[in-house]
């Protein structure tokens, strides 16, 4: 007996601004791959940053996605409605003694990492110096109780030791052409932030929890997130979550070769729509073939 395996894709925008051509490419590629494999397409709103995400952006994103011809399942998962699930995962990491409250301010981090040879993470930020990694628990608790600002960080060395060597499957290619079985290199990130004082999660934690909860089999996203995949793989291993397959795609760039940002008008979908472009025009602009009809079953 053959068991049918349904692939599940997701497009996961952060509703902190309107969509541009780069998002359109990612969303359409997810839609095309889901359709070609007779799989499912989910949309997830990554709105944990409640100060920057707004309902009106969410509404305009969904409107743009429908205009592009995408067809996704309801309901749309909104991360801001699932803080409990992320808090549970954080608690599990705490129980494994793999996270610690870190108290250094930005200025203190800067001061401790002035040495030009200090390692930088793949985003270019200095690796956290970890001066408070081994604070006695009573002192950490007292500081938290006194109202000090803090963030929960992963004890990266201990986490790697517990997880052992890890790899993930890359079906696209990373920024340096990595494809196939790729060795995860989470150590490059140092003690990453796993949750904040006000928000009991981070991008890394919520993305792995949600991909697992939603049964995502295929993560298709921009290659700017390729280095973060190593952290995701590590968290999946620690939390006993399944590993999706990854496909990182090239980024759509502006004429100067710069990555598009949400504030740029010219490549915004709203502007293109207002100037009379069609969804097929957008597909052409981002280099995708014309839309295919849904395969008949």
Binding site for ligand GLU (CB under 6 A): 12-14, 46, 207, 221, 225
190: closest CA among 85, 108, 109, 248?
109
My answer on whether omega of the bond before 268 falls inside 30° of 0, hence cis, is no
User: Which residue lies nearer to ligand GLU by CB, 33 or 112?
Assistant: 33
Taking the complex as a whole, how short is the minimal distance between the CB of residue 251 and ligand GLU, in angstroms? 11
Minimum Å distance from CB 226 to ligand GLU?
A: 11
Query: Are 194 and 204 within 8 A, CB to CB?
Result: yes
Q: Which residues contact 39 (CB under 8 A, 6 or more apart)?
A: 6, 7, 8, 9, 33, 217, 218
Count of CA atoms in the C-beta half-sphere (13 A) of 170: 25
Cβ of residue 172: shortest distance to ligand GLU, in angstroms?
A: 13
What is the closest distance, in whole angstroms, from the C-beta atom of residue 122 to ligand GLU in the complex?
15
**Which is nearer to ligand GLU, 101 or 186 (by Cβ)?**
186
Q: Name the strand (E) or helix (H) holding 207.
A: helix 203-213
Smaller CB distance to ligand GLU: residue 99 or 220?
220
Q: Which C-beta is closer to ligand GLU: that of 13 or that of 172?
A: 13
CB of residue 52 vs ligand GLU: minimum separation in angstroms? 12
Say how many CA atoms lie within 13 Å of 205 toward its Cβ.
26
Which of 160/207 has CB closer to ligand GLU? 207
Burial call 119-146: b when 16+ CB within 10 Å, e when fewer: eebeeeebbbbbebeebeeeebeebeee
In the block, tokens 């429908």 appear at 66
Q: Judged by CB, which is closer to ligand GLU: 247, or 283?
A: 247
Find tokens 């997130």 and name the residue. 225
The minimum distance between CB 211 and ligand GLU, in angstroms, equals 8
């Amino acid at each position: 007996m053959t068991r049918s395996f349904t692939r599940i894709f997701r497009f996961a925008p952060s509703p902190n601004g309107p969509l541009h051509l780069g998002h359109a490419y990612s969303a359409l590629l997810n839609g095309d791959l889901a359709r070609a494999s007779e799989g499912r397409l989910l949309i997830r709103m990554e709105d944990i940053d409640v100060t920057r995400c707004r309902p009106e952006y969410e509404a305009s994103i969904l409107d743009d996605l429908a205009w592009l011809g995408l067809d996704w399942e309801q309901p749309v998962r909104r991360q801001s409605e699932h803080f409990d699930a992320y808090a549970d995962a954080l608690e599990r990491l705490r129980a494994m003694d793999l996270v610690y409250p870190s108290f250094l301010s930005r200025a203190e981090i800067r001061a401790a990492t002035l040495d030009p040879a200090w390692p930088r993470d793949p985003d270019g930020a200095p690796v956290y110096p970890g001066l408070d990694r081994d604070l006695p628990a009573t002192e950490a608790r007292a500081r938290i109780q006194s109202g000090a600002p803090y963030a929960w960080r992963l004890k990266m060395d201990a986490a790697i030791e517990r997880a052992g060597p890890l790899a993930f499957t890359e079906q696209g290619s990373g920024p340096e052409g990595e494809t196939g079985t790729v060795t995860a290199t989470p150590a490059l990130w140092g003690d990453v932030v796993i949750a904040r004082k006000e928000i009991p999660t981070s991008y890394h934690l919520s993305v792995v929890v949600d991909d697992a909860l939603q049964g995502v089999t295929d993560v298709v996203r921009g290659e700017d997130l390729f280095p973060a995949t190593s952290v995701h793989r590590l968290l999946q291993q620690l939390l006993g979550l399944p590993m999706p397959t990854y496909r990182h795609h090239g980024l759509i760039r502006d004429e100067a070769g710069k990555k598009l940002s949400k504030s740029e008008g010219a490549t915004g979908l709203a502007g293109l729509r207002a100037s009379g472009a069609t969804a097929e025009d957008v597909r052409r602009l981002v280099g995708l073939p014309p839309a295919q009809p849904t395969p008949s079953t």
